[in-house]
């Protein structure tokens, strides 16, 4: 059974991520969406919420599981005996960092391949950072995120975030 890991912060999951995971499922029997606990970033949503919202979004699609990890992606791939990583590319500006990451991962785990998938043009400008910025200012992100994510954001941040 061909299996791949799609790692990311998914803070929160967007239509861009959804498009990529659907494309990945056409190639692989199983895709693990792995939420990265990145201590360097201060997330908008706690890990459990990010995972739950992904689960609710991909539940009906089949063949997609949700996991989480701390530390190196290569270690998570080894633990799950998975030899393929999925990454999404929005624009040429993503490429440089992604190329460096793919080459580093290959050095650390030579059996690992990284596959890049391009999103639909209409989703290519969507990023979790933009969504968070709009949420902070109390705006509507329903065009950018799946329904479970939008419902959660509306319930919890309808007036934006004032720090």
In the bound state, the residue with its beta carbon closest to ligand ADP is: 16
Check binding of 148 to ligand ADP (CB under 6 A).
Answer: no
- Say how far apart CA 129 and CA 112 lie, in whole Å: 28
Check binding of 9 to ligand ADP (CB under 6 A).
Answer: yes
Question: Among 4, 5, 8, 148, which residue interacts with ligand ADP (rule: CB under 6 A)?
Answer: 8
Q: How far is the CB of 32 from ligand ADP (least distance, A)?
A: 13
Phi and psi torsions of 22, nearest 5°:
-65, -40
What is the three-class DSSP state of 37?
strand
Instruction: Output the six-digit token pair for 77.
Output: 């791939």
Check binding of 126 to ligand ADP (CB under 6 A).
Answer: yes
- Say how far apart CA 148 and CA 41 lie, in whole Å: 23
Give the nearer residue to ligand ADP in terms of CB position, either 147 or 158: 147
Helices 128-136, 147-157: axis angle to 10 degrees equals 30
Binding site for ligand ADP (CB under 6 A): 8-10, 14, 16-17, 20, 87-88, 90, 94, 119, 123-124, 126-128
Active site amino acids: 17, 41, 90, 128
């Amino acid at each position: 059974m061909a299996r791949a890991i799609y790692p990311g912060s998914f803070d929160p999951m967007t239509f861009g991520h959804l498009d990529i995971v659907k494309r990945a499922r056409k190639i692989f029997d199983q895709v693990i969406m792995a939420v990265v606990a990145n201590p360097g970033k201060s997330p908008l949503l706690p890990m459990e919420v990010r995972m739950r919202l992904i689960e609710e979004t991909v539940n009906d699609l089949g063949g997609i599981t949700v996991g989480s990890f701390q530390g190196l992606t290569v270690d998570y791939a080894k633990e799950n005996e998975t030899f393929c990583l999925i990454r999404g590319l929005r624009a040429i500006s993503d490429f440089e960092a992604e190329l460096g990451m793919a080459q580093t991962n290959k050095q650390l785990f030579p059996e690992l391949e990284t596959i890049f998938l391009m999103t639909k043009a209409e989703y290519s400008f969507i990023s979790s950072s933009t969504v968070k910025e709009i949420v902070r200012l109390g705006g509507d992100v329903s065009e950018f995120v799946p329904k479970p994510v939008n419902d959660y954001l509306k319930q919890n941040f309808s007036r934006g975030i004032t720090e």
